[in-house]
Amino acid sequence: MRLCNAFPGVICLLGFTTILPEVIGYNLVGCYLDNENQPSLTGLNSVDVNQSSQKCGDICTKKFVYAGVRDGSTCMCGNAKPPDSLLVQDNSLCNIPCPGNPQEKCGGKLYMSVWIVGSQTSNDTISDTSPSQSTNKGGLIGGIVGGVLGLLLITGGGIWWYRRKKRNQQVDNLNEEKYNQGSGENWVPRRRSDVTLRDDFDYTHALKVTNPDP
C-alpha cells in the first residue's frame, strides 16, 4: 500500500495487471460482484475443472460479446455489459488462479473477472430475438407468401374459366346464326300432291259414257 501511495502511476498499475492480467486477444473490463440474485452475465454458463480465462474467452467469442470467470472454474458469457453498480474498485477480489493456467486469474468467490471478447456488429453475436420469435416470424412470412400464391392461382383459374365460357358461348351463337341464315335462303315450300283440282268444276256429276257405234 505504501509503494502504491508513493508511485501510484507505476506500482498500482503493475499490481492491477498481476491480479487481472490481460488475456491474449481480449480486453479486460474489470472485476464485478456476481451472485445468483444479480448475475453479471446472463448468457452461457459452463464449469470446467481445468478452466482458464483464455479458454473461457475462446468459448464466448464465438457467439457473445463478453466473457467472465468466477470461483476459479465457472465461465459465463453474455451480450450485455455488466452494470456499473456491480463494478468493484478492489481488483484483488478477483485473484483466484485458474486451474488450467495458474498465471491467469479466474475471478473470485462471488466475484467475476470480465473481458470483451466480441463485437455487437459481429455476425456471430446472438441477437436479443429469441428462436421462438424468429420461428414465428418465419412462419408468418411463409403463411403470407402461401396465401398470396393461392389467391393468384384462384384468380387465374377464374379468369381462364370465364374466357373459356365466353368463347364457347360465342361459338354457339355463331353456329345458330349460320343455321338460321341457311334455312331462310334455301327452304322452298312444296306441294304435297301433283294433282290439282279446280275449284270451279263440279266433280259430283257422274261421267256419262256413250257408245258411238249404232
H helix runs in the chain, sequence order: 2-6, 11-19, 53-60, 131-186
Mean pLDDT of the chain: 75
What pLDDT digit, counting tens, does each position of 2-34 carry? Answer: 344 444 444 343 443 334 445 557 888 999 998
What pLDDT digit, counting tens, does each position of 60-73 carry? Answer: 998 999 999 999 99
More confident residue, 31 or 170: 31
What pLDDT digit, counting tens, does each position of 100-152 carry? Answer: 998 888 999 999 999 999 886 544 444 444 445 555 667 788 889 888 998 99
Q: pTM for the full model?
A: 0.46
Whether 89 contacts 149, CB under 8 Å: no
Backbone φ and ψ for 18, nearest 5 degrees, come out as: -75, -40
Q: In angstroms, what is the C-alpha Rg of the chain?
A: 52
Q: Show the CA angle centred on residue 142, arms to residues 137 and 143, nearest 5°.
A: 100
Backbone φ and ψ for 164, nearest 5 degrees, come out as: -65, -45
Which band of pLDDT confidence, cut at 50, 70 and 90, is reported for residue 195? low
pLDDT above 60 for 186: no
Architecture of the domain defined by 25-118: 3-Layer(bba) Sandwich (3.50)
Q: Specify the pLDDT at position 176.
A: 72
Cα dist from 141 to 63, 146, 151, whole Å: 26, 9, 15
Pairing between strand 74-78 and 66-70? Answer: antiparallel
**CA–CA distance, 67 with 194 (Å, rounded to integer):** 121
Cβ neighbors of 111 (< 8 A, separation 6 or more) are 31, 32, 33, 34, 70, 88, 93, 94
Q: Point out the least confidently predicted range of 137-151, 160-174, 176-190.
A: 176-190
Cα dist from 14 to 7, 17, 30, 105, whole Å: 11, 5, 15, 15
